[in-house]
Structure 1
Amino acid sequence: MGRDEYERRMMRAGRAAAEAGLAGLIVTPGPDLVWLCGYRPTAVTERLTALVIEPGRAPRLLVPVLERPDAERAAGAGALTVAGWTDGADPYVELGKWLAPQGRYGVSDGMWALHLLGLQRSVPGGGYAALTEVLPMLRAVKGAYEVERLAAAGAAADAAYQDVLGVRFAGRRERDVAGDLARLLTEHGHSQVDFTVVGSGPNGANPHHEAGERVIQDGDRVVLDFGGLKDGYGSDISRTVHVGEPGAEERTVHEVVREAQQAAFEAVRPGIACQDVDRVARRVIKSAGYGEYFIHRTGHGIGVTTHEPPYLVEGEHLPLVPGMCFSIEPGIYLPERFGVRIEDIVVCTDSGGRRLNVTGRELAVVA
């Protein structure tokens, strides 16, 4: 992407800030900064870096003077003013000169407390709110370029899954299979691997189990959940496999989850509330008698990070609109026994949902 796209994003963010009644946005290093202007500092330290976007004004980026050359080379730097502050100066005083004295600003969710407290000290009349609270949809609606980046990341995760089906599971540690997944994601183009959940047997009943020393056994159900970044955009896929032939109950639970995932996918359309997609998946699982064992939301947004708005969860009334990308990942977790989760990334289109993961959702048998 070039300067023009970043300029459009910053202008859109300024308009969104005005519509939300904000004086502007203060964005520190993290996914919002990368998305808005393409700048990712080589090292995030205690030195303040902050992008200020205010309605009707050109955006400005304040950086440590020693990092100014790097900032000026960022893809979107031509659409903003870059200023530097020197060691020994108070960067919060410098930043405060740019801000409305009584203004309320949206700030990055990940802004260090050190920086927020510094701002409060230098601009005591200002107010601050987390971006997710005041502008939850800032990055939620993707353009065609972003959707295709996400599709490419999804295809790479699909390829990694297809390949891992051919590795040996029985007799190996969970962390060994997790290593296979990380290697395969990298081989298929990921620059960053964020997570490789491998939950075997009873460990699969913990949705966020970290792969450990447990040796996978014949007869185990294994939950696989893995993803990362490819060309700056995220992948996230879950499939559940069985080591050897599964029993009747295991097949039944897997089929209930598959049906719930399919029903939720079919419910995707513009205008439906996020919580209603969650309700569709939950209804299928509850009707089968496993309602108490579905213990997390149905989905989360994805983009330059793997978890971001929108969230498919009870109480979220925001409607889906074309361009929103999110996971659909119902699950059933039977304590001390096993778990099942099936997850695809889906984009809302004018006519319904489009899956960005296309590998089979049937129960796969591995050795």
Structure 2
Amino acid sequence: MTVDTTARLAGLRDRMRAQGVDLVVLAPSAHMDWLVGFHPLLCERPCLLLVGPEREAFLMPALNAEGSRESTAIPFHVWADDVGPVEAFAAALADVGSNSASHVVLDETMRIDFAALVLDALPWARRSFTDDTLSYLRMRKDHREYAALKMNALLADRAMQAGFAALRPGMTEKQLAAIIFDHFASEGARPDFAVVAAGSNGAFPHHHTGDRVLAEGDAVVIDIGGTKGGFPSDITRMAVVGRPPEGYGQIHTIVERAVQAALKAARPGVLARDVDAAARKVITDAGYGEYFVHRTGHGMGIGGHEPPYITATSDTVLAEGMVFSIEPGIYIPGRFGLRLEDIVILREDGPEILSSLPRDVHVVAE
């Protein structure tokens, strides 16, 4: 997707001024992708984008320079292996007007040796991460981002339906995952993951899809995602092979009520932890609180997991345009797990679900 780098740099500088930040330093990452539309190859050679009060520049390894020039007009300060990056980094700092910066924001995803290069050059500077600058901006999606995420959500719906159509007793978790992957690929998407967790494996929220054979009475957690056009998808639905295990229907109802409670709580101005609390209260009041072992949701944009995080401790104030998952679950060791996940975008009057696939359990006839 085309990025309006000029507008995004201007927005970042507005936030920098508001937060008293003199310099933002990014490594090749989703942050860099969002800001300038690409990132050079990440390796052990320091490669950094420096954004100062009025100018920006790259610290660029010589091996990356020629290929990266095709993607950006931002000035390069190139360094070679026989010289090292220290002098080129000092020149880049001077170029962007930040060689005496007193408040530096570091990309929290960068390698520690990249960060050391920055901190050694500015030992007096106050240091923070991107929460109040770049991450703050990334959380609020524009219409183009929404359209890309919506398209991917509907694609994931179809991949899930392909999995439902193929699901039969006697097939393995891996075989079902392969069918879902094939559907993503058939629509030009990169398959990212397919967690297929049958029976007792469903009690592990991050189960590694394996060779377990799907059998009569299995409840099956199916959590899938793919990427197309630089944006991901993420959806979890449930299937049951034949007759559901004892108690399944009651627990599905409880988890669905938790989803509904979170949807009702999610409004602009509400704290993220209050959305988590709404979902958690439903499950706890039903007697299954100890079996809800993860957060209620995570943000999504060009990254599959990014702020805002819908956790019991998050003080993030939700705002219109934020995109995040709502995915409460109950996991009963030795029996089964049950999770229902949708991605939503927050509107003025509440969340809009990007998927169109109902959260009803898919039952495979005996």
TM-score range, shorter-chain basis? Answer: over 0.9
Note the C-alpha offset of 1:127: 4.5
Match of 1:335 among 333, 336, 354: 333
Hey, what's the Cα distance between the residues in 2 that align with 1:68 and 1:200? Answer: 48
2:18 aligned partner, one-letter code: E
Q: Secondary structure at the match of 2:287?
A: coil
- What CA RMSD, in Å, does the superposition of the two structures yield over aligned residues? 1.9
The match for 1:265 is 263
Q: Is the 8 A contact 1:100 1:126 kept in 2?
A: no
Question: Are residue 130 (structure 1) and residue 129 (structure 2) matched?
Answer: yes
What are the residue-to-residue correspondences of 1:82-161 with 2, within 5 Å? 82-97=76-91, 98=93, 99-132=98-131, 136-161=135-160
Q: Secondary structure at the match of 1:60?
A: strand
Note the C-alpha offset of 1:2: 4.5
Q: Secondary structure at the match of 1:165?
A: helix
Question: Deviations 1:173-205 (Å, cap 9, x if unpaired)?
Answer: 212212222222222331x33221111111101
Q: Is the 8 A contact 1:226 1:238 kept in 2?
A: yes
Q: Is the 8 A contact 1:228 1:306 kept in 2?
A: no
Q: Is the 8 A contact 2:15 2:132 kept in 1?
A: no
Q: Is the 8 A contact 2:140 2:323 kept in 1?
A: yes
The match for 1:204 is 202
- Give the direction of change, closer, same or farther, for the CA distance of 1:181–1:2 in structure 2 (3 Å limit): closer
Hey, what's the Cα distance between the residues in 1 that align with 2:132 and 2:196? Answer: 33
- Give the direction of change, closer, same or farther, for the CA distance of 1:248–1:335 in structure 2 (3 Å limit): closer
The match for 1:241 is 239
Question: Are residue 58 (structure 1) and residue 52 (structure 2) matched?
Answer: no
Note the C-alpha offset of 1:48: 1.8
Unmatched runs of 5 consecutive residues or more in structure 2:
none
Unmatched runs of 5 consecutive residues or more in structure 1:
none
1:298 aligned partner, one-letter code: T
Hey, what's the Cα distance between the residues in 2 that align with 1:108 and 1:183? Answer: 35
The match for 1:311 is 309
2:87 aligned partner, one-letter code: V
Q: Secondary structure at the match of 1:138?
A: helix
The match for 1:302 is 300
| Segment of structure 1 superposing worse, 104-113 or 121-130 | 121-130
* Identical columns (%): 35
Q: TM-score, normalised by structure 2?
A: 0.93
Hey, what's the Cα distance between the residues in 2 that align with 1:164 and 1:177? Answer: 6
Q: Secondary structure at the match of 2:321?
A: coil
Hey, what's the Cα distance between the residues in 2 that align with 1:169 and 1:83? Answer: 58
Q: Secondary structure at the match of 1:172?
A: coil
Question: Deviations 1:112-168 (Å, cap 9, x if unpaired)?
Answer: 122122333344334533324775423110001101110011011011011110113
| Segment of structure 1 superposing worse, 298-307 or 244-253 | 244-253
Q: TM-score, normalised by structure 1?
A: 0.92
How many residues are aligned here? 360
Note the C-alpha offset of 1:248: 5.0
